[in-house]
A and B are shown apart, each in its own frame.
Chain A
Amino acid sequence: MAVAEDETSGFSRFVTGLGRGVAGALFLALPMLMTMEMWHLGYYMARERLFLLLLLNIPLLVLLAHRIGFENISTWREAVRDAIIAYGIGIVTSLVVLAALGLLRGGMPAAEIVGKTALQSVPASIGAMLGRSQLGHEETDDGKKGTYPGELLLMATGALFLSLNIAPTDEIVVLAYKMTAWHALVVALLSIALMHGFVYAVSFIGGHELSPETPWWHAFVRFTLPGYVVALGICIFTLWIFERLGDSSAVEIMLSVIVLGFPASLGAAAARLIL
């Protein structure tokens, strides 16, 4: 009897986990599912770039599962399993929502349906991973040690998430065209200052603090500056993936990257607080 009960509770836990995954995918990916540029990108973006994005999503999900995963994941095998489940939830959720919104129709070429769903499945799968691990958070983080690469990975995830939201929109390019180099300078400095302030100064739950004997610039050099570089790297990557760079000059590209770097760096900081 005990065995049977165990199996039932294990099964219901699994179903609950799936439900949380769907909730996370919906919460985090709905803005993108309802963005016009994302539908268009689904069919016109270069297939090799889409393929690269889909491939890179796999190690990201595995690393995320290992770092913040669902129910104390301890082995890489479990992490891979969780990553696959999250990707699956992402694909199914995207497919259902896109179909429900009337964006997928019978007469469409298969390439369009697959492209739209595949593109949306990336943010949706990250959302599913976060939903499964974070929305059902019961245990405390006691004793959980974040490694340095782990912190950088979290920042990259946060930056990627906001970049995926914002990079496809026309506004980024328009803002870069309207701004002068002076504006860009201010935005860059503001991004760095806010990043540092959010994590260290304003005492959010999940915030970071320093030993009294550690000078403030220790954390600034070790975490905030690398975090900003990671965020800018993610911005270059997403702008390139979404073909937003074109044949623009280096200065114009830099301006777009700094504009997108503003939300991306805040996403990076938020990820360190939340995850």
Chain B
Amino acid sequence: MTRSGTGRHRERHDPHWIEWLTGLVSAVLIAGMLSWIGWEAVTRKATPPDLSITVLATEATSAGHRVAFDIYNSATTTAASVTVIGRLTEGDRIVEENQVTFDYVAAESKSTGAILFRNDPAGRDLDIRAAGYTDP
């Protein structure tokens, strides 16, 4: 409990046990968080972004086809402005090429996106890969 008077507050000397319990639980939570972060700081080595792409689904849309994919960054550094290029090929001939840019792909995290094609990817070779990134 806190007593207020003349604009300043004075904490009680004999608080309810619930205040100590709340304080104790908070102390444990904060100590846990700090030691986790500290452990990460000591053990985690900075590795450059390592991007991989998994195609999720191809669906028809009203104006063409949508290829949805996951992009996963398995490294401990975040990549910014990640450009992903999707290419439809038929033999040696490039049928269509489109690209999309992710603002960020966070460290050890995944983002999802989609590339839109006018031509149907079915029966053609589809290649989606990350083409480059900047450091945030």
Measured CB to CB, the residues of A under 8 A from B are 140-148, 151-152, 170, 173-174, 177-178, 180-182, 184-185, 188-189, 192, 205-211, 213-214, 218-219, 221-223, 225-226, 228-229, 232, 246-249, 251-252, 254, 258
Contact = CB atoms under 8 A, between A and B. Distances in A.
A12 to B, nearest CB: 29
A185 B37 contact: yes
Interface centre among A177, A207, A246 (most CB of B within 10 A): A177
Contact of B136 (A141, A178, A189, A246): A178
A83 to B, nearest CB: 23
Contacts of B108: 249, 251-252
Nearest to B2: A146
Contact of A222 (B6, B19, B33, B106): B19
A246 B109 contact: yes
B133 to A, nearest CB: 12
Given A181-B37, A208-B10, A252 B2 contact: no
16 contacts: A140-B7, A143-B5, A146-B1, A184-B41, A185-B34, A185-B37, A188-B33, A206-B8, A209-B11, A210-B11, A222-B20, A222-B23, A229-B25, A248-B109, A252-B78, A252-B106
Given A225-B26, A249-B109, 19 more contacts: A143-B4, A145-B2, A145-B3, A148-B1, A148-B22, A180-B41, A182-B41, A185-B38, A208-B2, A209-B9, A211-B13, A218-B11, A218-B15, A221-B23, A222-B19, A223-B23, A226-B22, A228-B30, A251-B40
B30 A246 contact: no
B2 A177 contact: no
Contacts of B40: 181, 251
Contact of B22 (A146, A188, A222): A222
- Lowest 8 CB-CB distances: which A-B pairs, in order? A181-B41, A221-B23, A249-B108, A177-B78, A225-B26, A146-B2, A229-B26, A181-B40
B36 A254 contact: yes
Contacts of B44: 181, 251
Nearest to B44: A181
Nearest to A227: B26
